[in-house]
Amino acid sequence: MPMQSQARTGFDIASAVWLGKRETQEDALAIDAPLGSDIGLVVLADGMGGHAAGDVASTIVVTEVFADLKLRSAGFAESPETLTDTLRNAADAANRCVAAHVAANPGTEGMGATLVALVAQGNALHWISVGDSPLFLWRDGKLTQLNEDHSLAPQIDYMVESGQMDAEVGATHPDRNCLTSVLMGREVDRTDCPDTAFALRPDDIIVVASDGLQFLSNDAISALLAELGPMSSADIASVLLEAVQALADPHQDNVSFAVLQSRAGAVRRAHAPRRRLGRRKAARGKAGQEAKGLLATMAESPGTAADAPAAMKSTTRWSGLTALTRRLRSGDNTREALE
């Protein structure tokens, strides 16, 4: 379930974690936005290896990277030029810790984890990422992935765009999620860590996620965010999590993500009238039930496979879900939805 949003001077941040349909939680996540500081930290890792301790790998990576960034964060304001090196060094240290664990526990050979670690400082966003866990930016009604995707998905999409592969084949290709770079205690093939900070705007929304959130298509996530309008990070996290859960996909992977906004952009969300909170909570429950009914209807429609993740990601089939998010909006729309 969503963790409580942390009201902070610099950033409004919230997170959500869900096991999905897996037996083990292999995602790990840590967030921080200290009171009186203009710094926000998010560190996320998606473990791989299953029986080879993917959960241990993700825990090692998040623990090492987050601890390193947290301990050094007090000096970021005075020396912002050191942030890129700090992120790279933290990732390298985490990778060495994974190697040490594997050396001491040979049965865990093959374990590894993706990594997305970001430092938001004022209007500057720095990050490092390895693997396929996305770092999304919602700006001006458009969802963009800021970091590189270190999987075979980009190559497969290129083959589809260039006519070398059928679109349907590409969308469900079994190698889409094969990683081309990961922290396994070995040499890391590819790392995305820009030397120049990304400039944030007051109304930007940042979403850092494991690929479990991507059981929703990017278009579906965009539609949900567009319908939500101004909301706190905690409310946004609730809606995204409930949308994934409403899929009821039997193959659902672990889900973990963090939502980050600047306090300047979130101030109107934080000061929403309290009298509306009860209606919003009731609306969420009703919306969740209707989402399940909508998806059940979709599963019964011709050409739809209820157990196919690709089918559940269909933008067309998800278009109806956007209307459900209106129940979370303030004012007359929410009142009418509950009557």
Is residue 265 very low, low, confident or very high in pLDDT (cuts 50, 70, 90)? low
Q: What are the pLDDT digits (tens) for 42-77?
A: 999 999 876 568 999 999 999 999 999 999 998 888
Q: Which of 171, 233, 183, 224 is nearest to 203 (CA)?
A: 233
Q: Is there a domain that residue 283 lies in?
A: no
Q: What is the mean pLDDT of the chain?
A: 79
**For position 131, what pLDDT does the model report?**
95
Three-state DSSP at 115 gives: strand
Q: What are the pLDDT digits (tens) for 154-190?
A: 676 768 778 878 887 677 767 676 788 899 999 999 9
Numbers of helices and strands, H then E, in the chain? 11, 11
Residue 218, classified by CB atoms within 10 Å of its CB into exposed (0-12), middle (13-18) or buried (19+), is: middle
Q: Is there a domain that residue 28 lies in?
A: yes
Q: What are the pLDDT digits (tens) for 85-109?
A: 999 999 999 999 999 999 999 999 9
How far is residue 282 from each of residues 18, 233, 277, 338, measured CA to CA in Å?
21, 18, 9, 8
Say if residues 281 and 337 touch (Cβ distance below 8 Å).
no
Its pTM stands at: 0.77
Q: Is there a domain that residue 136 lies in?
A: yes
Q: Is there a domain that residue 137 lies in?
A: yes
CATH code, domain carrying 35: 3.60.40.10
Q: Is there a domain that residue 315 lies in?
A: no
Q: Tell me what percent of the residues of the chain surpass a pLDDT of 90.
A: 56
Q: What are the pLDDT digits (tens) for 312-335?
A: 333 333 344 444 444 444 333 332
Pairwise pLDDT comparison (84 vs 152), residue with the higher score? 84
What span, in angstroms and rounded, lies between the C-alpha atoms of 26 and 22?
9
**For position 301, what pLDDT does the model report?**
43
**For position 158, what pLDDT does the model report?**
67
Pairwise pLDDT comparison (231 vs 257), residue with the higher score? 257
**For position 316, what pLDDT does the model report?**
35
Q: Is there a domain that residue 312 lies in?
A: no
Q: Is there a domain that residue 58 lies in?
A: yes
Q: Is there a domain that residue 287 lies in?
A: no
**For position 190, what pLDDT does the model report?**
94
pLDDT above 80 (res 266): no
User: Which residue range is the domain that position 29 belongs to?
Assistant: 11-272
Q: What are the pLDDT digits (tens) for 286-312?
A: 444 444 444 444 444 433 333 333 333
What span, in angstroms and rounded, lies between the C-alpha atoms of 185 and 238?
35
What span, in angstroms and rounded, lies between the C-alpha atoms of 143 and 140?
9
**For position 167, what pLDDT does the model report?**
80
Domain count, the chain: 1
